[in-house]
Amino acid sequence: MNLLSGMEKFGFSMDGELDILADENAKKSDGASGQAAAPVVKEEKDFILDKKVRCPVCDKDFPIKAVLATKLKRLEPDFDLRPNYEYVDKCKYDFMSCPHCGYSALDTTFSKIDTARVKLIRSEFCPSFKPQAEQLPETYSYDYSVEKFKLALICTMKKRAKMSEKAYVCLKIAWLRRSQLQELKGQKDADPKLVELVTKEYEGFYKQAYEGFMKAISSETPPYCGMASEAVEFMLANMSMYYKKYDAAMKLIARLIQSPSTSRKLKDKCVDLKDEITAKAAAEKAQS
Domain assignment of residue 1, yes or no: no
Q: pTM of the prediction?
A: 0.86
Question: Of the residues 227, 253, 276, which one is the last residue of a structural domain?
Answer: 227
Question: Of the residues 176, 208, 227, which one is the last residue of a structural domain?
Answer: 227
Decide if 125 contacts 57 (C-beta within 8 A). Answer: no
d(CA 178, CA 142): 10
272 and 175 housed in the same domain? no
What is the rounded average pLDDT for all residues in the chain? 91
pLDDT the model gives residue 23: 62
- Percentage of the chain lying above the pLDDT 70 cut: 87
Domain assignment of residue 208, yes or no: yes
What digits encode the pLDDT tens for the residues 66-101?
A: 999 888 999 999 999 999 999 999 999 999 999 999
178 and 286 housed in the same domain? no
d(CA 125, CA 76): 38
What digits encode the pLDDT tens for the residues 196-241?
A: 999 999 999 999 999 999 999 999 999 999 999 999 999 999 999 9
Q: How confident is the model at residue 21 (pLDDT cuts 50, 70, 90)?
A: confident
140 and 271 housed in the same domain? no
76 and 203 housed in the same domain? yes
Q: Is the pLDDT of residue 109 over 70?
A: yes
49 and 167 housed in the same domain? yes
Helix, coil or strand: residue 185: helix
151 and 252 housed in the same domain? no
257 and 219 housed in the same domain? no
Domain assignment of residue 95, yes or no: yes
168 and 242 housed in the same domain? no
Decide if 67 contacts 46 (C-beta within 8 A). Answer: no
Number of independent structural domains in the chain: 2
- Which residues of the chain form beta strands (DSSP E)? 48-54, 61-67, 74-75, 84-85, 95-97, 104-106
Decide if 202 contacts 43 (C-beta within 8 A). Answer: no
pLDDT the model gives residue 287: 87
Q: Is the pLDDT of residue 10 over 80?
A: no
123 and 204 housed in the same domain? yes
- Note if the bond before 223 is cis, omega within 30 degrees: yes
The amino acid present at 182, given as its one-letter code, is Q
Domain span at residue 281?
228-288
Domain assignment of residue 34, yes or no: no
Domain assignment of residue 2, yes or no: no
